[in-house]
Amino acid sequence: MDQPLIADVDDVRAFAATLPAKFLRCRDLGHNMGPHDAYPLEGGGYERILKCRSCKAKRLYLLDEDFSIINTSYDYPDGYLAERGTGRIDRDGRCVFRGAAVLADIETLSQRQGRKR
């Protein structure tokens, strides 16, 4: 069976409902990366690892001796990615994540401030 090109918005909605607020925020606003590790590689070049302060995803950079990027990859925490074969999450799907993130923020802020929703 062919994989869908675009994720069904109802599937994205169901997936978003399973995600913690920190994952929703990263999917909405992007990762808040900071330095995690860096070291020279045996044989030359470097590896640099950045880590998201919120969801803990890692971005790995493989650099040559002149610090040109050879390769990059991500290492996501368990549960961050949708099931393989879901399809690409388009504008409508990103709106689902944004809406879920905003509602989670409202809930969190209401609890902190003792407000009623």
Q: Where are the beta strands (DSSP E) in 1-117?
A: 33-40, 46-52, 58-63, 69-75
Give me 115's structure tokens.
């407000």
Parse the chain into domains and list their residue ranges.
9-113
Under 8 Å CB-to-CB from 89, ≥6 apart: which residues?
A: 6, 7, 12, 82, 97
pTM of this structure: 0.84
Q: How do 33-40 and 69-75 pair as beta strands?
A: unpaired
Euclidean distance between CA atoms 52 and 26, whole angstroms: 9
What's the pLDDT tens digit per position in 9-63?
999 999 999 999 999 999 999 999 999 999 999 999 999 999 999 999 999 999 9
